[in-house]
């Protein structure tokens, strides 16, 4: 579990169609929604973000074992495509 002031990093993301993905996610922070989909995913050819490793800003998936008070406490997460969404692959039902 991470400390109160650390946000989990997005250690890898295979959603290469996302504007924030160029050799991994470069959004400053991503939000994960109540279905564990990445709410920051943006399908654009243009690339954006910062020279940082993305972090999880907030997560609405309350039934995940890593979720407490609507924040993620996993050491890091992986994101990738399932069906049509970029989803948190580190989700574990609690
Ligand atoms: S690991 Fe669980 S709590 Fe963390 S972002 Fe993914 S779904 Fe949310």
Question: What pLDDT shows up at residue 40?
Answer: 96
Mutate to test the pocket of ligand 1, among 12, 61, 80, 89 (most ligand atoms within 8 A of CB): 61
The count of C-alpha atoms lying within 13 angstroms of the C-alpha of 74, restricted to the half-sphere facing its C-beta, is 24
Write down the domain spans for the chain: 9-88
Question: What pLDDT shows up at residue 1?
Answer: 59
Ligand 1 centroid, distance to 50 Cα (angstroms): 22
Ligand 1 centroid, distance to 64 Cα (angstroms): 6
Question: What pLDDT shows up at residue 27?
Answer: 98
- Going from the first residue of the chain to its last (94 residues), give the mean pLDDT of each consecutive group of 10, the final group possibly shorter: 76 95 96 96 93 97 97 97 87 94
Q: Ligand 1 pocket, 32 CB below 6 A?
A: yes
User: Strands (DSSP E) along 1-94, which ranges?
Assistant: 9-13, 29-32, 55-59, 67-68, 71-72, 76-82, 85-88
Question: What pLDDT shows up at residue 45?
Answer: 87
């Amino acid at each position: 579990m991470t400390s109160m002031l650390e946000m989990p990093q997005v250690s890898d993301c295979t959603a290469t169609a996302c504007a924030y993905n160029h050799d991994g996610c470069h959004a400053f922070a991503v939000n994960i929604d109540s279905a564990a989909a990445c709410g920051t995913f943006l399908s654009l050819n243009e690339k954006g973000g910062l020279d940082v490793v993305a972090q999880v800003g907030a997560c609405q998936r309350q039934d995940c074992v890593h979720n407490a008070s609507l924040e993620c406490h996993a050491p890091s997460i992986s994101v990738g495509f399932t069906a049509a969404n970029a989803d948190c692959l580190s989700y574990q039902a609690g």
